[in-house]
Amino acid sequence: MSTYTLSRGLQRNKAAYRRGHKPGENPWSVSRMVALLILAFLAGTWLVPFAWAILTSLKSEADAGASTLSLSPPDGFSLDAYRKVLSAGDIPLWAWNSLLTSVLITVITVATSALAGYAFSRISFHGRRWLYAAIIAAIIIPPQLLIVPLFRQMLAFDLVDTYWGIILPQAFAPAMVLILKRFFDQIPVELEDAARVDGAHRLRVFWSIVLPLSRPILAAVAIFVFIGAWNNFLWPFIVTTDADLMTLPVGLQTVKSAYGLQYAQNMASAILAALPLVVVFLFFQRQIIKGIATTGFGGQ
């Protein structure tokens, strides 16, 4: 903890120094204050949509649909919209569907990518080169372009309107295999050689030596895959028609069209849907930021 604060402090000094702001210089100079004002204005602007949505969600439907900029609505503020949205029953179910599918997608993707990444990094096997080339080529294929053949395939497999139909086409990520391979490449082989001389099997070596060393990158990959899966819209939208199987983004879209005029409830459901990932972010802020910095790939 203390090293952490220390390095944070150093970083801040570094940043201040970088600007040419010497330790003796006035940190409250006019140019710094101007920069601070600009920054505060921009950050404030970026938070407006959240603030406006929260404000609307706390109003009564009558007030939300009547007065535009009113900060003191006649009916006052209440959590009624949230209560109604939650008691209507569908949002908790969709949140559960989202959680279940996203967790499974994340677990399968991380496990298969780590195993494959390790094979590409350490083991020479027949066909390794062409499989690797195929994976690199696949990174540039946008999944959006495969919706028609994939949907027909799901019809043939009888997976339309099932959890596995949502999960399987999302449960692998060529980019993540490359990221993990590159990470494994940097681990010194000598660490594994010692264990292998003792006769430990590859899987054992992988499990007890390589994986523990790779925790940060595995966490980064897992968080990205989870965010991508939790927020994905197009594929779950195509493969589910049964409202009981919909994920949160897909369910909200259908409700939006059904109850178009209930603004307070619309905003309450949007806030509820946004909440889980915001909480996840607040917990894993450092890993997420580091992950973006080291991998350069994201949910996108």
Partner 1 sequence: MPTAVDSPAAEVVVANGKRAGAVRARRDESLTGWAFAAPFAVLFVLFLVVPAGYGLYLSFTGETLTGANSDLVGFANYAEALGDPDMWRSFGNTVWFTVLSTIPLVVLSLAFALLVNLGLPGRWLWRLSFFLPYLLASTVVVLFWAWMYNPKLGLFNGVLAEFGIAPIAWLQNPNVAMISVVLTTLWWTIGFNFLLYLAALQNIPEQQFEAAAIDGAGKWRQLFSIVIPQLAPTTALILTLQVLASLKVFDQIYMLTNGGPAGSTRPIVQYIYEAGFTGYRFGYSSAISYLFFAIIVAISIAQYKLINRRSAQ
User: Is there binding between residue 71 and partner 1 (CB under 8 A)?
Assistant: no
Of residues 116 and 245, the one with the C-beta less far from partner 1 = 116
Q: Residue from 47, 136, 191, 194 that binds partner 1 (CB under 8 A)? A: 47
CB of 204 to partner 1, least distance (A): 12
User: Is there binding between residue 152 and partner 1 (CB under 8 A)?
Assistant: yes
Scan residues 27-46 and list those touching partner 1 (CB under 8 A). Answer: 32, 35-36, 38-39, 42-44, 46
Q: What is the dihedral of CA 126, 128, 134, 140, to 10 degrees?
A: 170
User: For the stretch 151-189, what's the b/e string if a residue is b when 16 or more beta carbons lie within 10 angstroms of its beta carbon?
Assistant: beebeeeebbebeebbbbbbbbbbbbbbbbbebbeebee
Interface size with partner 1, residues (CB under 8 A): 103
Scan residues 213-272 and list those touching partner 1 (CB under 8 A). Answer: 227, 230-231, 233-234, 238, 248-250, 252-253, 256, 263, 266-267, 269-270
Output the six-digit token pair for 163.
């959890």
User: Is there binding between residue 298 and partner 1 (CB under 8 A)?
Assistant: yes
Measure the CA–CA gap between 263 and 81, rounded to whole angstroms: 9
Q: Mark the segment that binds partner 1 (CB under 8 A) among 80-88, 169-177, 185-193, 208-216.
A: 169-177
User: Is there binding between residue 111 and partner 1 (CB under 8 A)?
Assistant: yes
Q: Residue from 6, 7, 9, 19 that binds partner 1 (CB under 8 A)? A: 19
User: Is there binding between residue 21 and partner 1 (CB under 8 A)?
Assistant: yes
User: Is there binding between residue 277 and partner 1 (CB under 8 A)?
Assistant: yes
Q: Is 268 exposed, middle or buried (0-12, 13-18, 19+ CB in 10 A)?
A: buried
Nearest partner of 101 among 267, 204, 250, 205, judged by Cα: 250
Q: Residue from 58, 91, 135, 217 that binds partner 1 (CB under 8 A)? A: 135
Report helix angle 248-258 to 263-295, nearest 10. Answer: 150
- Contact between 267 and 199 under an 8 Å Cβ cutoff? The reply is no
